[in-house]
Amino acid sequence: MAQPSGVHRLFQSIRQQPLLLWPLLSLMIPLWPGCTAPMPKRELLAQELILQSNGEVIFSQPFVLDAEAVGATRLFASVGLPVNSAISLTTELLNASDQVVLAFDKEGWRERGTWQEDGQSGIYDESDSYYEVLFKPNQSGQYRLRFAVDGLEDQAGQALVAQLPLRVDVQDRRVDHGLAIWTFWISLGIVLMFLNSIYCQGRRRYGGRIDDLLETSAFTRMNYEKGVIMIKMKGRFELLSYINSDAYKKTSSSIKLPLSLEIIDGNGLVLQSEKITLYLNKKSANDEDDPPYWQFKKRLFFYNPRLRSLRFRLSIPEQIDCVEQEWIDFDLRDRIVSMRPLNIRRID
């Protein structure tokens, strides 16, 4: 029988890859809002005013609110206060008919002093002198703001006379970026659960924690569909019990472990035989007083071109160098799909 050419082999190896890429399109779901044009906030008013502490009423410039605008309208004001003072600032929103449609007070303060802690000291200057109110207009039209100082006092409760700078900002089309970010992360989390259910699962045929790999091989005898089969192993080796616990210091951090693999068909014919080298890597125990252990992890992928009965005969030495096998976590799955090319052994 003629051997397949190099090009034929290349196509064969590509065709046997269990690549399934369309589920990756689901990543577009959380990214979709980012693909649409961002909606910038709109500045409606940005004004500096001077407030008189005697209660004189001042008005902002008029501005237009749109009842149909998406998002929220934001009123922001920040007042400059003298040190060690408190203010009660009244704000009213007036519509085009000079009717009050929203009224509120801001009780602000500013305090300066010294602090001492653990032998250190410094000056603090802290204040609460701004506000932010979010709302939506119910009618489009011209609006303006009316401000007045209800009271300005010092720490002793004595009235102060001062001119106070006031910065006013009105914006609309304010979207909730915090909610948008949470939405992205939650949606991404659900999509990752979806991808995990596809790419990391397959169909479990046999598995569990075992002591004897060769004995377990008997349970791999079953009918396998056309497709990719995965054998995943994670094993733990420990120092031989009769060896001095200090011996591990001389033991290599990586030990070669030969794995013998035979794939046998339904008639008992050995289809494939291979020696695979695994590597035992030294790991530190959780408790520093305990000696370390050695661990190996290996995933083997096989492409089965047609429905048939197979058995995977696997064996490793139970003891090598000065370590012996404790247990192996064994996992046999089929119907494997992947988002990236795998190193696959074809079962001919």
Partner 1 sequence: MHRPLLLVLSISVILLGTNDSIHRPTIYRLGNDGTPYSQPSSAGGVIYRGSGSGGQWRTSSRGGWSGFQGRGPSGVK
Question: In the 8-state DSSP scheme, what is residue 256?
Answer: E
Contacts with partner 1, 7-46, as mask; x by CB under 8 A? -------------------x--xx-xx-----x-------
We find the least distance from the C-beta atom of residue 115 to partner 1, in angstroms, to be: 3
- Pairing of β 308-315 and β 293-304: unpaired
Question: Which single residue is written with the structure tokens 């119907």?
Answer: 335
In contact, 143 and 90? CB cutoff 8 Å = no
Closer CB to partner 1, 114 or 286, in the complex: 114
Residue span binding partner 1 (CB under 8 A) among the ranges 103-111, 217-225, 267-275, 313-321:
103-111
We find the least distance from the C-beta atom of residue 39 to partner 1, in angstroms, to be: 7
Closer CB to partner 1, 71 or 292, in the complex: 71
We find the least distance from the C-beta atom of residue 255 to partner 1, in angstroms, to be: 42
Considering only residues 107 to 126 of the shown chain, the ones binding partner 1 according to CB under 8 A are: 107-109, 111, 113-117, 124, 126
Binding-site size, partner 1 (CB under 8 A)? 71
Residue span binding partner 1 (CB under 8 A) among the ranges 47-55, 83-91, 233-241, 330-338:
83-91
We find the least distance from the C-beta atom of residue 158 to partner 1, in angstroms, to be: 10
Which one, of 233, 237, 258, lies nearest residue 329 by Cα? 233
Considering only residues 264 to 293 of the shown chain, the ones binding partner 1 according to CB under 8 A are: none
Considering only residues 151 to 190 of the shown chain, the ones binding partner 1 according to CB under 8 A are: 151, 153-155, 157, 174-177, 179-180, 182-184, 186-187, 190
Considering only residues 188 to 247 of the shown chain, the ones binding partner 1 according to CB under 8 A are: 190-191, 193-194, 197-198
Beta bridge pairs of residue 121: 116
Considering only residues 54 to 73 of the shown chain, the ones binding partner 1 according to CB under 8 A are: 70-72
In contact, 71 and 179? CB cutoff 8 Å = no
- Neighbouring residues of 154: CB distance < 8 A, sequence distance ≥ 6: 84, 85, 86, 160
Q: Which two tokens stand for residue 26?
A: 């689901």
> Which helix or strand (DSSP H or E) is residue 191 part of?
helix 177-199
DSSP result, 27-96: GHHHHHHHHSPP---EEEEEEEEEEETT---EEPPPEEE-TT-SSEEEEEEEE---TTEEEEEEEEEE-T
Contacts with partner 1, 132-151, as mask; x by CB under 8 A? xxxxxxxx----------xx
We find the least distance from the C-beta atom of residue 44 to partner 1, in angstroms, to be: 15
Question: Which single residue is written with the structure tokens 């890597």?
Answer: 281
Burial class (CB in 10 A: 0-12, 13-18, 19+), 281: middle
Other Cβ atoms less than 10 A from the Cβ of 90: the count is 16
In contact, 226 and 304? CB cutoff 8 Å = yes
We find the least distance from the C-beta atom of residue 148 to partner 1, in angstroms, to be: 12
Closer CB to partner 1, 127 or 295, in the complex: 127
Closer CB to partner 1, 95 or 281, in the complex: 95
